[in-house]
Structure 1
Amino acid sequence: MATDEEFQKLIKRINELAHKAKKEGLTDLEIIERKDLRQKYLKLFREGFKSQVEMMRVFDKNGKEVTPEKVRKVQRKKGLRDD
């Protein structure tokens, strides 16, 4: 998993290429780089989102845990729960 600094560098470069594409266009190499960077970004985003979902616990108004069973199973498998 990438660090926050690596993630920010990735976003910065994607934005640089986006601005250049709008102003003057991209070279063939830059188009390939942009595609690769977008794929890396999506992979990291999905990993982070999945991790957040796997760590979540949901409670109703009365304080009773109502975390979906599918999430509980993943948490048990990863050793995040002992119930």
Structure 2
Amino acid sequence: MQYDIHLATRSPDLAALRTALGQADPAAMTDFDAGTGLLRVSANLSAFELGELLANTDPKLVPAQIMALPSTCCGGCGG
């Protein structure tokens, strides 16, 4: 699943976030755009699971900030 998380202007602790995501999903990827305050996450986690992980990593992040993006999977790889 892909998610956009709007953080306004505050930069998250990306190292802690990537460590926690990597433990939950070793293939997870993150990207943070400091100019827009947008954290992008791609992980095999539900929005609820991601919300719990983020709350444990950074208590200032709240589930309302998480926006699940529509799937871009074409099914071509069979995954």
Q: Report the TM-score when normalising by structure 1.
A: 0.22
Higher helix share: 1
Q: Report the TM-score when normalising by structure 2.
A: 0.23
Considering only CA atoms, is the larger Rg found in Structure 1 or Structure 2?
1
Structure with the bigger RCO (C-alpha within 8 Å, sep 6+) is 2
Higher strand share: 2
